[in-house]
Amino acid sequence: MNETASRHTPVMLGRCVELLSPALVNPGAVVIDATLGMGGHAEALLKAHPDLTVVGIDRDRDAISLATARLAFAGDRFAAHHGTYDDIDGALARVGATRADGILFDLGVSSLQLDEDDRGFAYSRDAPLDMRMNREDPVTAASLLATESEDEIARILHVYGEERFARKIARSIVRRRETDPIERSEQLVDLVRACIPAATRTPGSNPAKRTFQALRIAVNRELDVLEAAMVAAIEAIDVGGRIVVMSYHSLEDRIVKHAFAAGAQTSAPPGMPVVPLEAQPYLKLLTRGAEKASEEEIALNSRAKPVRLRAIERTRSTARAA
């Protein structure tokens, strides 16, 4: 096992390969790993399908560098694309393709970003409040906390973190920054802890967890990108092609669920005796609701605990994807 592989255990690896494989039987099949990370899922797919080409998207150049080294065995069957995971067309263009046979999303923060202290994603270690997945982006968590209004900070914490004490935390941030800029994770954790009554805290959980999630989502525009990515992926997938998405919190899963459900049901009015082709479903749900990791996997890899996996297959072409 190489160094990169030893640092990262891919979540629900076998299930992802199982769900995507029926769409990858034809020579020259193309998969987009829209959240490349350290390349664990891409490696498994490339080894399972010797004729497969994988394009890996990541906004983190460090991740691309590590994954590219890990996947060197595949030669020109692997290509990397630096960008956000809604740039499906850009990724396809890297290998001269216009359609994908499979698309995989493993959402949220990567092991690489969590494990590197200077990235500021982890509330358990003191570090600069950065949280950028792409270090070339201008906005950091620290700059957001230093410049946004109390109302906007409260909105971010409430909507993206589902934090019930969002207003109290936002007020405390604005008051604190007047004399002491909040630039490190330890400062923010201490501030949030002081705002949340001990009786309401979840035992064994850091009270700043929701605040850190909310800031990370805001800094990286994750939900906006995800909404665009679902549209782009469904349009890019070929008939018979499959999309697998792993989400790690309810906001992500809700977006995925709605995007998949919209294509898996008829758009014809109730009671229509003959449903025209253009009103018939063009997606088939491959999972019953959202699947979870097994207890055995969670015991070996705690990062699998919150995962929710959904998958679909495109069953017919549509005007947009024709």
Measured CA to CA in angstroms, residue 62 lies from 4, 86, 207, 289 at distances of: 12, 19, 30, 34
**Helix-helix angle 209-220:150-161, to 10 degrees:** 100
* 8 Å CB contact between 184 and 126: yes
Parallel, antiparallel or unpaired: strands 30-33 and 100-106: parallel
In 150-249, which ranges are continuous DSSP H helix?
Answer: 150-161, 166-177, 185-195, 209-220, 222-236
Q: Is 224 annotated as a binding residue?
A: no
Return the amino acid letter for 102: G
Backbone phi, psi, residue 58, to 5° = -155, 145
Q: How many CB atoms lie within 10 A of CB 229?
A: 26
Q: Sort 219 into a burial class: Cβ within 10 Å, 0-12 / 13-18 / 19+.
A: buried
Q: Is 113 annotated as a binding residue?
A: yes
Count of positions (residues) in the chain? 322
* 8 Å CB contact between 48 and 23: no
Q: In what order do the strands lie in the sheet with 283-285?
A: 78-82, 53-58, 30-33, 100-106, 237-247, 308-314, 283-285
Q: Is 106 annotated as a binding residue?
A: yes
Q: Is 160 annotated as a binding residue?
A: no
* 8 Å CB contact between 105 and 245: yes
Q: How many CB atoms lie within 10 A of CB 122?
A: 18
Q: Is 280 annotated as a binding residue?
A: no
Measured CA to CA in angstroms, residue 60 lies from 37, 53, 57, 84, 233 at distances of: 8, 21, 9, 9, 20
Binding residues for S-adenosyl-L-methionine: 39-41, 58, 85, 106, 113
Q: What residue numbers does the annotated binding site cover?
A: 39-41, 58, 85, 106, 113
